[in-house]
Structure 1
Amino acid sequence: MASLGVNIDHIANIREARHTVEPDPVPMAMLAELGGADGITVHLREDRRHVQDRDVELLRQTVRSRLNLEMAATEEMMAVALRVQPDMVTLVPENRQEVTTEGGLDVVAQLSTLAAMVEKLHNSNIPVSLFVDPDATELEACRDSGARWVELHTGRYAEAEWKEQPYELARLNESTAIARQFGLRVNAGHGLNYQNVEPVAAIPGMEELNIGHTVVARAVAVGLQQAVREMKALIQNPRPSFLFGQTIG
């Protein structure tokens, strides 16, 4: 049964749109936990476009589930992680011009750099996950980096036309199996919503789904606690889907 990590970046996005003090993502994280979130995820970007250092520091003091810090693989972000000591670090690619993360890390090309960062974080007892596309070559490189977790990028599945979704779901299904064969634990996220999450939650071996935008959008109508409750119910009791079980031809 997959757990739910709630990404609260978009709470900070609303605040930064007016450069004011509200809404504050810190008490909102508490509401997400009250709604059943198994973890809180924040992405501290290098340009600080939404989440700020203060947010991460206060969340470290107040989150009672677990705090997952998404960050670029840079020395600046490494220093933040070592100071704050989150429960997990997820290394992600960053592009200053992107609206949101557009794809997975190129672990193959950056293996030596990422392996050094993984080792340093592990030496501080911080588990590391690498955000990657569902690709066997990348997953093999993740294993070689020393990381213990991967987070599969679900963007292509989430954005696919209905006739292409079975293929993209099959990629996620097979990549999860491959990752587990490599000894990696598997999370997933990006673009998942209330309409498409159940087939991904039903993948054998899937441990956690990190979901943000759709939960915050739903919270505008029903409140954050209720939005989290509704998403967690879908993840923990996914209905069988005609998409599931397809293989790549």
Structure 2
Amino acid sequence: MAQLAVNVDHVATLRNARGVTFPEPIAAAVAAETAGADGIVVHLREDRRHINERDVRLLRKIVQSKLILEMGATSEMLGIALDVKPDCVTLVPEKREELTTEGGLDLITHENNIRQAIATLKNAGIAVCIFIDPDLDQIKLAHKIDADMIEIHTGAFCDATNDAQKQSEFSRIVDAAKIGTKLKLEVNAGHGIGYNTIQAFKGLSEISEFSIGHSIVARAILTGMDQAVRDMKQLIGAL
């Protein structure tokens, strides 16, 4: 059974919208773990638009399952990661003007920088994942520069507006998952996955973990975090 890593960024988004101290992303992470989440994900952005360093440091002390830190491969973020020591770092592209991460890292363009970041993190005992589009050349390069795992960007599939586009994008995900597994990379998937789109992954056993945030937090507003996580875990268990 694939695992579920729950991203609690948008609990912090709601907190920061009013400039107050609640809702508390730390409490959301505890609730998600209690409901069966296999990991907690946070993205520490350069502009600190949601998660901040205080959150990351508290989560490192509290998370019992696995703490995954999403971040850009900058010297500032590498310094924080080396100090906090998350279980895994997922390297992602980042632009200040984007609403959310818009695509995977371009390893072909940024190979040297990402290679150095991977080496730095792995030397400190931190596993490294690359958030990457379902592009075979990019995945082969992720393997070449010694990443431990990849997270396939599933946004184009989840956001597709017609069946033909969905089928085409999902075929790319399948091919990416298979080549990643063949290269002995752990293969994860994330971005835009919800309670309806998760069911498309039935039978794709190459996926080790789904990273899901927005849809779970959105449902949790109506049902509570416990129920929202349990519902997603049930769907993943049926894949």
Q: Which TM-score applies when normalising by structure 2?
A: 0.98
CA positional deviation for 1:160: 0.6
> Could you tell me which residue of structure 2 aligns to residue 97 of structure 1?
97
Distance in 1 separating the partners of 2:51 and 2:17 = 12
State whether structure 2 residue 200 is matched by structure 1 residue 199.
Answer: yes
Cα 1:79–1:201 shift into 2, 3 Å: farther
Matches within 5 A, 1:156-175: 156-163=156-163, 164-175=165-176
DSSP 3-state at the match of 2:69: strand
2:67 counterpart of 1:67: yes
The answer for unaligned runs of 5 or more in structure 2 is none
Q: How large is the Cα RMSD of the aligned pairs?
A: 0.8
- Deviation, structure 1 residue 167: 1.4
Q: Contact 1:215/1:228 (CA < 8 Å) preserved in 2?
A: yes
Question: 1-side partners of 2:196 and 2:159: how far apart?
Answer: 12
AA in 1 matched with 2:113: T
Q: What SS does the corresponding residue of 2:220 show, helix, strand or coil?
A: helix
Deviation at 1:28, TM superposition (A): 1.1
Within 5 Å, give how 1:1-249 maps onto structure 2: 1-163=1-163, 164-200=165-201, 202-238=203-239
Offset of residue 201 of structure 1: 5.3
Specify the code of the residue in structure 2 equivalent to 1:158.
Answer: C
Per-residue deviation at 1:4?
Answer: 0.3
The amino acid across from 2:225 in the alignment is L
Where structure 1 has 5 or more consecutive residues not aligned to the other structure, the ranges are 239-249
In the alignment, the residues of structure 1 paired with residue 55 and residue 205 of structure 2 have an alpha-carbon distance, to the nearest angstrom, of 34
1:227 alignment partner, SS class: helix
Q: Is this contact kept in 2: 1:2–1:201, CA < 8 A?
A: no
Q: Which runs of 4+ in 1 moved over 6 A?
A: none
Shift of 1:168: 1.1
Q: Secondary structure at the match of 1:128?
A: strand
Structure 2: distance between partners of 1:201 and 1:124: 36
Would the aligned equivalents of 1:12 and 1:51 in 2 still touch at CA under 8 Å? Answer: yes
CA distance in 2: counterparts of 1:111 and 1:27, whole angstroms = 37
Aligned-pair CA distance for 1:180: 1.2
Shift of 1:109: 1.0
2:206 and 2:115 map into 1 onto residues whose CA distance is 24
TM-score (norm 1): 0.94
Match of 1:109, SS state, is helix
Aligned length: 238
**CA distance in 1 between partners of 2:85 and 2:124 (Å):** 8
1:55–1:64: structure 2 CA closer, same or farther, 3 Å change rule? same
Secondary structure at the counterpart of residue 192 of structure 1: coil
**Matched residue type, 2:21:** V
Larger mean Cα displacement after TM superposition, 54-63 or 156-165: 156-165
